[in-house]
Amino acid sequence: MALSIPDNAASAAEALLDIANAMSSTLELKKVLKILARRAAQAIGAERCSIDLWQDGRLTPVMSQFADGHADPDLWAKYMALGPRRPEEHPTYVEVVRTRRPVAVDEVTDPQWLAFGARALLMVPLLRQDTVLGTIHLDQAEPYRWTQ
């Protein structure tokens, strides 16, 4: 089964507008990241979006949202328990940080991702100029072929 990125320009523009409004209306990072994660998942058609920020040479989990807005406190606690980790612990992180380009995994085999129910993964670097600030990873509970 292939997952296509929605080509509805109005929907994408609406998601970007929501994110821009969140960024301009508050300085509270948690609120901005929550809106960014949920709307990014919705815009791309993913089930969930998680954000890790680069701090002291490690990626630290800071936000995860399901596209439909439901919460899973146990899964969130498990994600946060990972704590800061070196990118070398996950080959997908290594590739994203090295190339500074998105990486798509159509069928996840890494047990660390499978433990969170991710069967397909799209990881995107968060960049400022050429500096990696973190990663956004969007995932599906079933294998998918990510297309443009």
pLDDT tens for 82-123 read 899 988 888 898 899 899 999 999 999 999 899 999 999 999
Of 136, 146, 113, the C-alpha closest to 36 is 136
pLDDT tens for 5-36 read 455 555 555 655 555 555 556 568 888 889 88
Domains of the chain: 2-147 (3.30.450.40)
Please enumerate in sequence order all residues whose Cβ is within 8 A of that of 90, keeping only pairs 6 or more positions apart, or say none: 110, 112, 113
Q: Determine which helix (DSSP H) or strand (DSSP E) holds 21, and give its type and residue range.
A: helix 9-25
Q: Determine which helix (DSSP H) or strand (DSSP E) holds 105, and give its type and residue range.
A: strand 103-105
For residue 59, CA distances in Å to 62, 115, 143 come to: 9, 18, 25
Q: pTM here?
A: 0.81
Q: Are 49 and 79 in contact (CB under 8 A)?
A: no
Q: Are 137 and 120 in contact (CB under 8 A)?
A: no
Q: Determine which helix (DSSP H) or strand (DSSP E) holds 49, and give its type and residue range.
A: strand 48-55
Q: Are 1 and 144 in contact (CB under 8 A)?
A: yes
